[in-house]
Amino acid sequence: MPTHELGPLTVHIRCPDNSYSLDKTLNEKRDKILFYMYDELYFLLNKFYKPIYKKYKYISSLPTGQYKSLQLVLSELEFDCGEEYIKKINKRLLK
């Protein structure tokens, strides 16, 4: 499900020359949504984190629950956006 939902939000990052990516105001709205989504995902990760999760090396080995679901969505978001865009979001969060 995250792939289908995040795809339209990240199209301007993945395919900047695409006809869907040319509207600057729409891209600013997409950036704002992605920023707040990223921020809220980290907030929820901190809320649902338990020290027992420290022993798991991979997301797939985590027990089923909110924390694992949040990790999966966050990893999909980071994959779709790319490293440079995530660094840009992190810099904006630290301000």
Neighbours of 69 (CB within 10 A): 15
Q: Tell me which residue has tokens 């810099």.
A: 91
Structure tokens at 68: 């694992």
Q: Report the C-alpha gap between 17 and 37 in whole angstroms.
A: 24
pLDDT tens for 2-43 read 677 888 888 888 888 877 778 888 889 999 999 999 999 999
Q: Show Cβ contacts of residue 72 under 8 Å, excluding neighbours closer than 6 positions.
A: 2, 59
pLDDT tens for 57-71 read 999 999 999 999 999
CB 48 within 8 A of CB 70: yes
Domain ranges of the chain: 2-94
Give Cα 55 to chain centroid, integer Å: 23
pLDDT at 1: 59
CB 58 within 8 A of CB 49: no
pLDDT at 61: 96
pLDDT tens for 41-92 read 999 999 999 999 999 999 999 999 999 999 999 999 999 999 999 999 988 8
